[in-house]
Amino acid sequence: MRVLLVEDEPDLGKAIDRTLKQEKYIVDWAQDGNEAWEYLESHWTQYNLAIFDWLLPGLSGLELLRRLRAKNSALPVLMLTAKDRMEDKVAGLDAGADDYLVKPFGMAELLARLRALQRRSPQIQPQKLQVGNLVLDCGNRTVCHLDRSGKNQSIFLTNKEFQLLEYFMKHPNQIVTTDQIRNQLWEASADTFSNVVAAQVRLLRRKLESFGGANLIETVHGVGYRMKN
């Protein structure tokens, strides 16, 4: 799940960025409206959710929203605003905002609003992915393995392992390239080393090995990987 966060207040931006990453979201954080638009244009189809502050240097949150909707993007957008004046809410909703959060707010409320947006968004369905005996719950952010008797055994994964498995499970039986994985799962600003994807796949396979799933993800030499259903 990749989120574009646009917030110019450094302390608040940092707090949201950290909270979302703890919850296994991939976060690109832009601190002004123009930078945010560049992120959107270069990662157009990759974002699942966006959080726009209302007042920003460069393009405002409202202007970003209008531009998005003018391009027929259905990306779910949560607007952050210090204003709770009725006319602003109306302007935001008219421009296509999906929800609002008035500052100051608690991180628990922000996370709850994002989960609600995900549930409502047809883009982000299905909530549960299953490949073989593996079940990944996008809502609860958990993974479990169904054994022969139908019992669930949960599998503990780090954030990156979870994101990687989610990506594979969304593309079963398809070859995904190393570049696709890197672009999808690492923040645009991340300083990644060249075989970061291979290293992460190795870690994930080790976890999957514990219940006999070591061969679920096969290497397609010189290209990338494929998850077998």
Could you tell me if 52 and 61 are in contact, meaning their C-beta atoms sit under 8 angstroms apart?
yes
Nearer to Ca ion, 99 or 137 (CB): 99
Task: Compute the chain's Rg from CA coordinates.
Answer: 19
Q: What are phi and psi of 93, to 5 degrees?
A: -65, -40
Nearer to Ca ion, 35 or 166 (CB): 35
Nearer to Ca ion, 55 or 102 (CB): 55
Asked if residue 15 binds Ca ion (CB under 5 A), the reply is no
Kindly indicate which of the ranges 7-15, 68-76, 110-118, 169-177 contains the residues binding Ca ion, using the contact rule CB under 5 A. 7-15
Nearer to Ca ion, 55 or 111 (CB): 55
Nearest Cα to Cα of residue 113 among 20, 40, 10: 20
Query: Cβ 139 to Ca ion, closest distance in Å?
Result: 30
Q: What are phi and psi of 145, to 5 degrees?
A: -115, 130
Query: Cβ 8 to Ca ion, closest distance in Å?
Result: 5
Nearest Cα to Cα of residue 33 among 41, 24, 22, 23: 41
| 79: Cα within 13 Å, side-chain hemisphere | 27
Helices (H) and strands (E) in the chain, counts: 8, 12
Nearest Cα to Cα of residue 158 among 14, 47, 23, 16: 23
Kindly indicate which of the ranges 52-60, 116-124, 185-193, 219-227 contains the residues binding Ca ion, using the contact rule CB under 5 A. 52-60
Could you tell me if 121 and 76 are in contact, meaning their C-beta atoms sit under 8 angstroms apart?
yes
Q: What count of other Cβ atoms lies within 10 Å of the Cβ of residue 42?
A: 11
- When binding is defined by CB under 5 A, the residue of 8, 28, 98, 166 that contacts Ca ion is 8
Query: Cβ 81 to Ca ion, closest distance in Å?
Result: 9
Kindly indicate which of the ranges 4-12, 13-21, 22-30, 107-115 contains the residues binding Ca ion, using the contact rule CB under 5 A. 4-12
Asked if residue 35 binds Ca ion (CB under 5 A), the reply is no
Could you tell me if 7 and 31 are in contact, meaning their C-beta atoms sit under 8 angstroms apart?
yes
Length of the chain: 229
Kindly indicate which of the ranges 3-11, 71-79, 111-119, 181-189 contains the residues binding Ca ion, using the contact rule CB under 5 A. 3-11
Asked if residue 55 binds Ca ion (CB under 5 A), the reply is yes
Query: Cβ 7 to Ca ion, closest distance in Å?
Result: 7
- When binding is defined by CB under 5 A, the residue of 17, 28, 35, 53 that contacts Ca ion is 53
Q: How many residues bind Ca ion (CB under 5 A)?
A: 3
Query: Cβ 12 to Ca ion, closest distance in Å?
Result: 8
Distance CA 99, CA 76 (A): 8
Nearer to Ca ion, 55 or 124 (CB): 55
Under the rule (CB under 5 A), what is the footprint of Ca ion?
8, 53, 55
